[in-house]
């Protein structure tokens, strides 16, 4: 508790670094990270004001990539002054609604406000094609009427270009590589995690998953590992109606096992599901019994700069 308080206070007022700091780097380089990761939404499906739906922004070189479009992602992007027309691609981990309900808003309001001129590339697992097709049908009235009515809006900017993907390298542009890997999210198949690499550095996003060996193998050598977590009482029985939630996700003890295997410079919890009144403090406490490496509880708009070290900005 005391430790968490201290970390939170430090993270609130300063930028803290994890991993080896290269003293040979000059200040200009330190100020321009190779990869910047911003947690736009760290919540579960619960409609909370302090934890919006799952969505993570990764900025590397000239690439601005969005992973999942949970509730409120457009508002969060606006808070950090990233306009919709600056997003190069959207990657979906899976099609559970909490990861995509922000998409119509991101896409339509984003187009309207930013006057985007070119289509948005959307990558996602099998099923993404038809999900997007139905969304486009659902909003076709609005899109058509705005194109007719508002001469500044270009039809091209309203398009979504979908590519359904499987495991492997799914995007490679301007020296940024995105690798998708299949995680284990129970009945939800396929569900993907992502590894993003740039200039020898990397961040791994777990997506929604149970304890996954594939995730561990795909995370080797990662600077930053952002992992989901669910907490319920140890005593939760299989007959509890919420047991299936725990069975689809990763407990603090299981995440600790993952972190011990991967040994990232920094591990971060995001997509935080708290059942039966459990708290963030309890998640950290239960994790730290097994894992003693650097670990942070993610918060909306918390960001991470990855160079030769990983620093946390809040």
Minimum Å distance from CB 208 to Zn ion?
Answer: 3
- Residue number with CB closer to Zn ion (19 or 104): 104
Are residues 269 and 225 in contact, defined by beta-carbon separation less than 8 angstroms? no
- Residue number with CB closer to Zn ion (98 or 184): 98
- Residue number with CB closer to Zn ion (63 or 208): 208
Read out DSSP for 96-120?
-GGGTTTHHIIIIIHHHHH---SPE
- Residue number with CB closer to Zn ion (127 or 221): 127
Please report, as ranges, the residues that interact with Zn ion according to CB under 5 A: 96, 98, 208
Are residues 262 and 219 in contact, defined by beta-carbon separation less than 8 angstroms? yes
- Residue number with CB closer to Zn ion (250 or 303): 250
Check 34, 98, 223, 308 and give the catalytic one: 98
Minimum Å distance from CB 99 to Zn ion?
Answer: 6
Q: Which residues, 6 or more positions from 51, have their beta carbon under 8 angstroms from its beta carbon? A: 41, 42, 43, 44, 272, 299, 300
Are residues 73 and 106 in contact, defined by beta-carbon separation less than 8 angstroms? yes
Are residues 47 and 74 in contact, defined by beta-carbon separation less than 8 angstroms? no
Q: Which residues, 6 or more positions from 268, have their beta carbon under 8 angstroms from its beta carbon? A: 39, 224, 225, 226, 227, 295, 296, 297, 298, 302, 304
Read out DSSP for 228-256?
EEEE--TT--TTSTTHHHHHHS--HHHHH
Annotated catalytic residue 85: no
How many C-alpha atoms does 97 have within 13 Å on its Cβ side?
Answer: 4
Minimum Å distance from CB 228 to Zn ion?
Answer: 7
Minimum Å distance from CB 310 to Zn ion?
Answer: 24
Minimum Å distance from CB 73 to Zn ion?
Answer: 14
Active-site positions read: 98
């Amino acid at each position: 508790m005391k430790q968490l308080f201290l970390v939170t206070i430090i993270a609130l007022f300063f930028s803290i670094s994890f991993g080896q700091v290269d003293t040979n780097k000059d200040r200009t380089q330190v100020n321009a990270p190779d990869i910047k990761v911003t947690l736009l939404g760290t919540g579960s499906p619960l409609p909370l004001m302090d934890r919006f739906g799952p969505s993570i922004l990764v900025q590397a070189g000239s690439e601005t990539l969005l992973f999942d479009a949970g509730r409120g992602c457009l508002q969060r992007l606006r808070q950090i002054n990233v306009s919709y027309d600056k997003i190069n691609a959207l990657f979906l981990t899976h099609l559970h609604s909490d990861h995509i309900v922000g998409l119509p808003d991101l896409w339509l309001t984003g187009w309207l406000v930013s006057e985007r001129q070119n289509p948005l590339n959307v990558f996602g697992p099998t099923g993404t094609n038809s999900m997007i097709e139905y969304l486009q049908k659902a909003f076709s009235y609005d899109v058509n009427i705005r194109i007719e009515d508002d001469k500044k809006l270009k039809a091209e900017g309203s398009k979504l270009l979908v590519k359904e993907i499987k495991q492997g390298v799914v995007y490679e542009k301007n020296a940024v590589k995105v690798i998708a890997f299949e995680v284990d999210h129970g009945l939800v198949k396929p569900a993907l995690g992502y590894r993003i690499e740039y200039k020898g550095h990397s961040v791994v996003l777990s997506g929604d998953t149970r304890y996954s060996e594939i995730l561990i193998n795909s995370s080797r050598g990662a600077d930053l590992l952002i992992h989901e977590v669910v907490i319920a009482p140890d005593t939760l029985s299989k007959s509890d109606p919420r047991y299936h939630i725990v069975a689809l996700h990763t407990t603090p003890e299981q995440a600790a096992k993952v972190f011990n295997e991967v040994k990232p410079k920094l591990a971060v919890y995001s997509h935080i599901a708290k059942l039966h009144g459990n708290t963030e403090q309890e998640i950290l406490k239960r994790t730290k019994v097994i894992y003693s490496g650097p670990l942070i509880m993610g918060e909306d708009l918390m960001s991470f700069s990855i160079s030769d070290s990983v620093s946390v900005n809040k």
